[in-house]
Amino acid sequence: MEACERPQRLQRQHPEGRSPPLLAQQRHKQELELRGLGCHLLQARVRLVMQRAMREGARQMQQLLEGASV
């Protein structure tokens, strides 16, 4: 998850020191955007799994309390 919090800014350069052609720059930008999107999707999935686990835990606690009070 650390990779999500700190976006990597990679400067790719040709051996001569020139910046890469426009097409390569655009492709690199798209790669970074996709990586960011993947991070957001992963975080959303983790959040859903945690919420489901908390609901299930609350339901089990309620059942235990109801069983103890009978």
pLDDT at position 17 is 59
Separation CA 24–CA 57 (nearest Å): 49
Q: Rounded to two decimals, what is the model's pTM?
A: 0.51
Separation CA 19–CA 2 (nearest Å): 28
**pLDDT per 10-residue tile (average), the chain, 70 residues:** 52 56 89 90 95 97 88
What residue type is assigned to position 60 of the chain?
Q
For the four alpha carbons of 19, 20, 21 and 22, in that order, the dihedral sign comes to negative
pLDDT at position 68 is 83
pLDDT at position 69 is 74
pLDDT at position 3 is 53
pLDDT at position 66 is 92
pLDDT at position 70 is 62
Hey, where are the domains in the chain? 24-69
